[in-house]
A and B are shown apart, each in its own frame.
Chain A
Amino acid sequence: GESVGLHLPTLSVQEGDNSIINCAYSNSASDYFIWYKQESGKGPQFIIDIRSNMDKRQGQRVTVLLNKTVKHLSLQIAATQPGDSAVYFCAETPFQNSGYALNFGKGTSLLVTP
């Protein structure tokens, strides 16, 4: 069936470097994408979102890129800090404004080393 998945289960970066976390999706009807950060023992925390009519969106130190042609989503974190260490999930849903449930990917564990 349709799925959302990530290319790498773990990513280790040095403090101050930029991080790139990738995600592939297969549902052509996906319209809205979100990146979540999950720290140990906590619930997913919203980072940034993007609609399918955009290909790039920037937040504070984070950028999400969407390539609909190859169904690929990435999260870029600039100047990665130790507090960025967490598991990052991409999630998608067909419609932004319908309250549809999210389909999550498997997660990438980001480890920031000093």
Chain B
Amino acid sequence: EPEVTQTPSHQVTQMGQEVILRCVPISNHLYFYWYRQILGQKVEFLVSFYNNEISEKSEIFDDQFSVERPDGSNFTLKIRSTKLEDSAMYFCASSGGQGSNYFGPGTRLTVT
């Protein structure tokens, strides 16, 4: 069964550093998303991406964040200058446009 994959599974970085989280969505999906989940809390929407552009973003997705689909398979989330409060699980998801988002296993980001 096709699945969303994410790398790395765990990323440790120092405050102020840039990080890039990578995702390979399900191949025939058209919509791509990033969500985050702070430990013990609910999943929060960050950004959605369709037709090579951002279609929706939340208040969390400020100028420190950017997304890119550099080729036909990868979808990346970049955090330009990490802050302590960026520590969370980051989930990539994709959808064929029928509503349900299929989630990857997540990348645990730890900012020290």
Interface of A with B (CB < 8 Å)?
32, 34, 36, 42-46, 49, 89, 91, 93, 95-107
A76 and B31 CA atoms in complex are apart in Å by 29
Give chain B interface residues in 36-59, CB to chain A under 8 Å: 41-45, 48, 50, 55-56, 58
Name the residue of chain B whose CB is nearest to the CB of A45. B103
Name the residue of chain B whose CB is nearest to the CB of A48. B100
Interface membership of chain B positions 82-97, coded 1 if the CB is closer than 8 angstroms to chain A and 0 otherwise:
0000000001010101
Q: Is B102 an interface residue (CB 8 A)?
A: yes
A44 and B100 CA atoms in complex are apart in Å by 11
Q: A32-B99, A44-B43, A104-B44 are in contact. Are A99 and B31 (CB under 8 A)?
A: yes
A5 and B33 CA atoms in complex are apart in Å by 22
CB-based contact A104/B97 at 8 Å: no
B4 CB, nearest partner CB in chain A, Å: 8
CB contacts (< 8 Å) of B4 on chain A: these are 43
CB-based contact A101/B33 at 8 Å: yes
Q: Is B104 an interface residue (CB 8 A)?
A: yes
Most buried by B among A45, A89, A104: A104
CB-based contact B48/A44 at 8 Å: no
CB-based contact A42/B105 at 8 Å: yes
CB contacts (< 8 Å) of B104 on chain A: these are 43
A97 CB, nearest partner CB in chain B, Å: 6
CB contacts (< 8 Å) of A43 on chain B: these are 4, 91, 93, 103-106
CB contacts (< 8 Å) of A42 on chain B: these are 105-106
B68 CB, nearest partner CB in chain A, Å: 18
- Which of B33, B42, B55, B98 is within 8 Å of A106, CB to CB? B42
A-B contact list, 24 entries, CB within 8 Å: A34-B101, A42-B105, A42-B106, A43-B4, A43-B93, A43-B103, A43-B106, A44-B43, A45-B103, A46-B101, A89-B42, A89-B43, A97-B97, A98-B97, A99-B30, A99-B48, A99-B50, A100-B99, A101-B33, A101-B45, A101-B48, A101-B56, A102-B33, A104-B45
